[in-house]
Amino acid sequence: MSRWLVRIFLLLLAIASAAGAAAWVIYAHTQELYQGFAGPEVFVDIPPGAGSTGIGERLVAAGVVRDALTFRAAVWISGRARELQAGEYRFDHPLTAAEVVSRIARGDVYERLITFREGLTIAEMAQVFEEKGFGSAKEFEAAAQNFGLIHDLDNAARDLEGYLFPETYALPRGTPAADLVAQMVENFKRAFDLPMRTAAEQLGLPVRQAVTLAALVEKETASADERPVVAAVYLNRLKNQMPMQADPTVVYAMMKAGRYRGNISKNDLQIDSPYNTYRYPGLPPGPIAAPGRASLEAVAHPAAVEYLYFVSKNDGTHAFAATLSEHN
């Protein structure tokens, strides 16, 4: 009887040793660097609701991890099976299975960059959105009609023209246009903060008028030094009840009418649109583009000058004048 017990004990010991050795091999695999893809990089898209098995299959197929068993072991060892997150992941160098699990549990998704420069309209931003492969222009334009996002600052807004802050955004693939638009409005609110809004209000400019004026400044000059001066010119014109006579407002009016072809003529200055500041006094009814922070700052803190006129010097800057004769 004792001989059989010894044999059973030795058999169990052998099984335990073999299992331990196999477990050690599997653990070792989770700690080994591995790259099974041939190119410089590979992208793996993990859909929402994918379990660890499905995720493992995608990673194995892409050559990111050695095999499904190694991935499952890495997940089990990490204890983070419930933390694995959907999204697009980029892999461009060898990683251990443990490192792959950690990245997916952190949600370290690959983000694509999209840049909106200052002075773009909603329609122009929509084209950038489509050209960069984030979605359709129509989708972006539809999202930009959600004027409720800005009603806490401008309850007269009927779209988000002027309130989509221009900068570079990092977005996971598949980000809906509505989410991007909401982020752009939040960035606008951070840029045109309370101190800046207060300064503009002290000049008699509520938010809508301040942003409308900032859009004119943005379209008129790219020179940082000139922005506060251009803002002062328009403010002086408003004080003196003079027409703004801003060419960018004519361009915007023609764009809205589908008539703009890259330049304007003398006849175009007569287009019947409330945005045409050659025909209608005061500021246009709303922003004609998205101003950057520098132009918003210029409107809140304009230069202390008496200028009423300015004309391009054809080198990116302008000549300013206080009288019409000097201007002429």
> Please, which pLDDT band fits residue 2 given cuts at 50, 70 and 90?
low
Is the predicted pLDDT of residue 11 greater than 90, yes or no?
no
Is the predicted pLDDT of residue 116 greater than 50, yes or no?
yes
Is the predicted pLDDT of residue 271 greater than 50, yes or no?
yes
Q: Which residues contact 92 (CB under 8 A, 6 or more apart)?
A: 40, 41, 42
The token pair that represents 145 in the structure block: 């009609």
For the chain, what is the mean pLDDT?
A: 91
Asked if 101 and 74 count as a contact pair (C-beta separation under 8 A), the reply is yes
pLDDT in tens, 97-113: 999 999 999 999 999 99
pLDDT in tens, 283-316: 999 999 999 999 999 999 999 999 999 998 888 8
Cα 23 to Cα 16, 79, 100, 182, 184: the distances in Å are 10, 16, 20, 49, 51
Range 126-136 average pLDDT? 95
DSSP assigned state of 95: B
Q: In the chain, what are the domain boundaries?
A: 19-106, 112-191, 194-327
State residue 92's pLDDT score.
94
Cα pseudo-dihedral 233, 238, 242, 248, rounded to 10: 60
CATH superfamily, region 19-106? Endolytic murein transglycosylase (3.30.1490.480)
Q: Other C-beta atoms within 10 Å of 44: how many?
A: 20
Range 158-168 average pLDDT? 97
Is the predicted pLDDT of residue 32 greater than 80, yes or no?
yes
pLDDT in tens, 247-262: 999 999 999 999 998 8
Range 261-286 average pLDDT? 93
pLDDT in tens, 60-105: 999 999 999 999 999 999 999 999 999 999 999 999 999 999 999 9
> Please, which pLDDT band fits residue 115 given cuts at 50, 70 and 90?
very high
H or E element at residue 88: strand 87-91
The token pair that represents 55 in the structure block: 């995720």
pLDDT in tens, 183-195: 999 999 999 999 9
| Closest to 283 in 3D by CA, of 193, 216, 199 | 216
State residue 328's pLDDT score.
81
Phi and psi at 291, nearest 5°, equal -80, 150
Is the predicted pLDDT of residue 7 greater than 80, yes or no?
no
Stretch among 16-25, 119-128, 171-180, 217-226 having the lowest mean pLDDT = 16-25
Angle 208-214-218 from CA coordinates, rounded to 5°: 145
Asked if 143 and 181 count as a contact pair (C-beta separation under 8 A), the reply is yes
State residue 324's pLDDT score.
83
Range 269-274 average pLDDT? 94
